[in-house]
Chain A
């Protein structure tokens, strides 16, 4: 059974840092693109970052470029999101998701339960 379990969320002051983790199991982690997606309270879904299987390609939404870093450790079946210079508008539930490739299309087929990040003084 595919499982994705996020951790590391919490309350942080503006300008602070936080590292999210996502533990993957039940599939061959190293063979999938992975993704972070967030959802601010009462708002829609926003992709945050995508990372290739070997970590050689990383992509970010413009609003987090230069502040967030996505990484992975295939030996530990883990995905990470290092968040810095946090702002109130980064407050959201952060989900990790597996990206499934089907005929050149990319879709997020499994999701974790999410971890809440609250940026407030």
Chain B
């Protein structure tokens, strides 16, 4: 199966900072990648799909980029409500599964 590896596993930053999270696929997946945000006790929420398309209602401080094997999620100006765990997910259909990365916990200093 295609493995998704996120780094770092956690990051601590101040309000207003720029935060970047990376996701690497073990094989090329074109632009078929999504990013999710999950807050404690809540279901995940889709932020970005197709590597760089912003889901409706998601603040514009979130952006995604990359293709092939290397992808990034950027929060341009970190806000207190962005404290959460972020997951990438490959979106290519085969092999089936749509697997997730291990997650990156973003904390506010």
Contact = CB atoms under 8 A, between A and B. Distances in A.
Our verdict on whether A and B bind, yes or no, reads: yes
Nearest to B93: A106
Contacts of B50: 102-103, 105, 107
A45 B87 contact: yes
A108 B97 contact: no
Chain B binding site: helix, strand, loop or mixed by DSSP? loop
B43 A113 contact: yes
Interface residues of A, number: 25
Interface string A88-121: 0000000100011011111111111110000000
A61 B99 CA distance: 9
Contacts of A105: 31-34, 49-50, 91-92
Contacts of B43: 95, 111-114
What class of interface size applies to chain B in its complex with A?
Answer: 20 to 34
B72 interface: no
A44 B96 CA distance: 19
Interface string B46-60: 100110010100000
Interface string B67-96: 000000000000000000101010111001
Interface of A: 35, 37, 44-47, 50, 59, 61, 95, 99-100, 102-114
Given A45-B103, A95-B43, A106-B98, 15 more contacts: A44-B102, A45-B87, A47-B97, A61-B97, A100-B49, A102-B50, A102-B53, A105-B34, A106-B91, A107-B89, A108-B34, A108-B36, A110-B46, A111-B44, A113-B43
